[in-house]
Structure 1
């Protein structure tokens, strides 16, 4: 019996080794199908270290940032091959999309000052592969309301995609702390300080707020505004680091990249290194562990109010994790989650996946909760008019308020990247205005033709990149802007069952799907 067990273990070990070798070989082979790496995939700018950022101030960060952009100009822009000097390359100085030609290069950090004495400060944290560009509309809105708005370029971003190949999430956290120190310095100790985080920046905003509970030396924010926050990522991201293993051999350097795509977007990387996905996973894992630990220690009562805007369908982050790993753990402190439902009009109903159609039922909780839940969706399945359906903290009844916004007929849902951009955004908007000139309108692209002809990806052409509900988002941000957190009160008991609380218009449809076994939790 012992010999048989030992033999089985040896066979199992050999099978595991062979599977690892096979996976390694397949990944190495697949990586060779990617385009060749360019200089912007291989040159890594030297960012400030965590220690330097923690010891430094805003001026030091700006000086370092200036050196980084100059280094990119010398080591990337000036070293392009003749074949790379084309109008659709953001790193070609002669291209119309070269960021240095614009009135303001939104890849860089910025501070927007109000006209009079500031009433508060806001720090804005952009997303992965992104730049401070993505939150500039919200930054301007805060500025116009009397806030100092600080949009920091997080390490590895805004320069070259290779910047994300060697960065760690702790670098982003250190930059967040630095920006918040500058915000507090500018407005003093008694005025509100809010954090706005988009995607990966949302994770950083929450992680900072959790750190501030444990470290009294950190400034506590008065409110968090999270947009498509990266509280959880796909299961694949957990193993993303393994996908890059073949890159330890120089011949397989392309294996360090999940995508090598032409860089035609002036303010966002198209190429994505394996390390970026891995660092996102590590950050979300750290947040979930910290949330669970502080919940066990009954220390979450000092979290500030959190206002989250999230599409129910999100290909980048896990929407269920926002509910289970964040909102289900919150005290009653004035927090709210706003969920943008899919377009349930007759035009799209036939083509919606069952999982998309029933997504809202898996997110809503039964019974009274410690936070307000708001769903933005069609007034009825045969109407483009939309309504706000809200269930307040401690209540179970739904309050319905019509909105003066129609769901555009050509849009079947919002997306991860759309929420912080109005439809008038000059780059991403479906109805761009002329407030800024970036020499291209990515949001209006609707080409038709043969596959393989364009340098554009299906993702960039098909994914909605602006938000028709953006005016509503600003209105909801205004409602709590500048308010200090309410006093801590005893939390309500929570029930975590899902599928209740659906609008009456849609509950019969979901029940019918459940009865035929179409709904899979």
Structure 2
């Protein structure tokens, strides 16, 4: 029997090894079949901020001066060497093209600060992996109009060339986040500080908040150096991602070998988006994986004895289906561990009128149904969903903490568009009138538009993957979400002043 057990374990081990080698082999073949690497996939920008530079790049002025040098280096190493002409008109790195972000005023890839005459508080905006400050700029402008000083911080490795994703670490981004919060805390002179993060930016907001709370626990013996935010808004937060991200460490290492540079990239798509990299690296996935694991471990430790008290009032915005991050992880690795009454999950359901279609995956709406029936949830759940399976109109279903069912709330003056099945990871921050990702092209001609595209033809003709075109890039319920975010920050501001 013992010999049989040993043989079984050995057989399973060989089977697992075979499966891993098959995955690796398949990835190598896939990567080698991708388009050749371009200049912007290979050039290193030496001036870029890193955690190692944090001691001498300590203020926002230092950071902005360094950022200017980064963009000067980008212009000299990439833009000056990239051809122009009709075939380059959608190339982000071709000078003067329709996708050249330098032709936009302002260039929303760069750090921006919006300063009212008499700020009521401050908000730090943290964008996600591969995008830039553009992703949260509309919410930033709305907050500024209400009297908040807003800092949209460009993360290291972002807003320049996708090669930055080969070397950036989450520690680099965390160091930049600390610099941004220190700046706002200094200029606000005691007024409340809020942090809003999108995707990986939400993970950075969470990491900073955990640091600040641990800093507070040492207040009796050491000087407090980090301000605990008055509120958090986490948009499509990267609280957990697929466990397969562990393999990206191997792919990243293999990609450093001579002749195998393509293996370091999980996506090589032409760069036609002025404010988001289309290409993506194994290292970028690895850094998100490392950060989410570190955050989850710290939350488990802090909540081991009891739910975490004193955590900033946190609003989480999620769609029930998300191909980039795990919506379930936001519940299991964050919200379940927080003391009740001050936190909320705003969840967008799938379009249930379309759910009856036989071509849809059957379990796409399972999470919303699970949460509605769960009476152990210590947070408020607000679900944006169809009024009925027969209607595209939507209403709110609200479920207080520790209750077993949701009560219908108010009806929204909104409906699912006829061609929309669900929201997506990338659409939550963008309104339907966004000039780049919105429903209708802007009136101004000559600039690239990436919103509601409808391109038809034979497969294999277009360089862009079909799944890229299918993904919704603006939020049809943005007006309601904007109202909720502004009210959330206002309420947190009142608590912070008290």
Superposed pair shares fold, TM > 0.5: yes
2-structure distance, mates of 1:437, 1:224: 38
Alignment of 1:132-143 (within 5 A): 132-143=133-144
Q: Secondary structure at the match of 1:343?
A: coil
**Against the structure 1 CA distance between its residues 397 and 360, is the aligned structure 2 distance closer, same or farther, given a 3 Å change threshold?**
closer
Q: Which residue of 2 aligns with 1:74?
A: 76
2-structure distance, mates of 1:132, 1:404: 29
Identify the range of structure 1 (279-288 vs 247-256) with the bigger mean alpha-carbon deviation.
247-256
CA offset at residue 334 of structure 1?
Answer: 1.1
**Against the structure 1 CA distance between its residues 357 and 11, is the aligned structure 2 distance closer, same or farther, given a 3 Å change threshold?**
closer
2-structure distance, mates of 1:478, 1:23: 45
Q: Which residue of 2 aligns with 1:509?
A: none
1-structure distance, mates of 2:49, 2:404: 50
Identify the range of structure 1 (297-306 vs 135-144) with the bigger mean alpha-carbon deviation.
297-306
2-structure distance, mates of 1:466, 1:221: 28
Gaps in structure 1 of 5+ consecutive residues: 488-521
**Against the structure 1 CA distance between its residues 19 and 425, is the aligned structure 2 distance closer, same or farther, given a 3 Å change threshold?**
closer
Does residue 1:431 correspond to 2:448, yes or no?
no
CA offset at residue 192 of structure 1?
Answer: 1.7
CA offset at residue 256 of structure 1?
Answer: 0.6
Deviations 1:13-57 (CA, angstroms, capped at 9, x unpaired): 888877766665544333211111011000121322214325510
Alignment of 1:29-40 (within 5 A): 29-40=29-40
1-structure distance, mates of 2:20, 2:258: 20
CA offset at residue 233 of structure 1?
Answer: 0.4
Q: 1:222–1:483: 8 Å Cα contact kept in structure 2?
A: no
Q: 2:321–2:365: 8 Å Cα contact kept in structure 1?
A: no
**Against the structure 1 CA distance between its residues 34 and 149, is the aligned structure 2 distance closer, same or farther, given a 3 Å change threshold?**
same
CA offset at residue 5 of structure 1?
Answer: 10
Q: Which residue of 2 aligns with 1:406?
A: 415
Q: Which residue of 2 aligns with 1:284?
A: 292
1-structure distance, mates of 2:349, 2:11: 50
**Against the structure 1 CA distance between its residues 291 and 485, is the aligned structure 2 distance closer, same or farther, given a 3 Å change threshold?**
farther
CA offset at residue 350 of structure 1?
Answer: 3.5
Does residue 1:483 correspond to 2:491, yes or no?
yes
Deviations 1:206-226 (CA, angstroms, capped at 9, x unpaired): 111111111132110000001
**Against the structure 1 CA distance between its residues 339 and 454, is the aligned structure 2 distance closer, same or farther, given a 3 Å change threshold?**
same
**Against the structure 1 CA distance between its residues 395 and 361, is the aligned structure 2 distance closer, same or farther, given a 3 Å change threshold?**
closer
Q: Which residue of 1 aligns with 2:313?
A: 305
- Given candidates 462, 465, 471, the residue that maps to 1:454 is 462
Does residue 1:255 correspond to 2:289, yes or no?
no
Does residue 1:422 correspond to 2:431, yes or no?
yes
**Against the structure 1 CA distance between its residues 224 and 438, is the aligned structure 2 distance closer, same or farther, given a 3 Å change threshold?**
farther
2-structure distance, mates of 1:23, 1:397: 43
2-structure distance, mates of 1:5, 1:366: 41
Q: 2:111–2:153: 8 Å Cα contact kept in structure 1?
A: yes
Cα RMSD, aligned residues only: 2.7
- Given candidates 360, 367, 370, the residue that maps to 1:362 is 370
Deviations 1:222-262 (CA, angstroms, capped at 9, x unpaired): 00001100000012212222233432421111101111110
Identify the range of structure 1 (11-20 vs 179-188) with the bigger mean alpha-carbon deviation.
11-20
2-structure distance, mates of 1:431, 1:457: 21
Alignment of 1:60-139 (within 5 A): 60-80=62-82, 86-114=88-116, 116-139=117-140
**Against the structure 1 CA distance between its residues 233 and 368, is the aligned structure 2 distance closer, same or farther, given a 3 Å change threshold?**
closer
2-structure distance, mates of 1:19, 1:477: 45
2-structure distance, mates of 1:331, 1:433: 45
CA offset at residue 472 of structure 1?
Answer: 0.5
Q: 1:323–1:363: 8 Å Cα contact kept in structure 2?
A: no
2-structure distance, mates of 1:466, 1:456: 19
CA offset at residue 460 of structure 1?
Answer: 2.6
CA offset at residue 7 of structure 1?
Answer: 9.9
Q: 2:238–2:292: 8 Å Cα contact kept in structure 1?
A: yes
TM-score, structure 1 normalization: 0.87
Q: Which residue of 2 aligns with 1:207?
A: 207
Identify the range of structure 1 (383-392 vs 12-21) with the bigger mean alpha-carbon deviation.
12-21
**Against the structure 1 CA distance between its residues 405 and 79, is the aligned structure 2 distance closer, same or farther, given a 3 Å change threshold?**
same
2-structure distance, mates of 1:477, 1:5: 57
2-structure distance, mates of 1:11, 1:350: 40
TM-score, structure 2 normalization: 0.90
Aligned positions, number: 485
2-structure distance, mates of 1:318, 1:6: 37
2-structure distance, mates of 1:212, 1:18: 45
Alignment of 1:211-250 (within 5 A): 211-216=211-216, 217-250=225-258
Gaps in structure 2 of 5+ consecutive residues: 217-224
Q: Secondary structure at the match of 1:263?
A: coil
**Against the structure 1 CA distance between its residues 61 and 309, is the aligned structure 2 distance closer, same or farther, given a 3 Å change threshold?**
same
Q: 1:28–1:246: 8 Å Cα contact kept in structure 2?
A: no
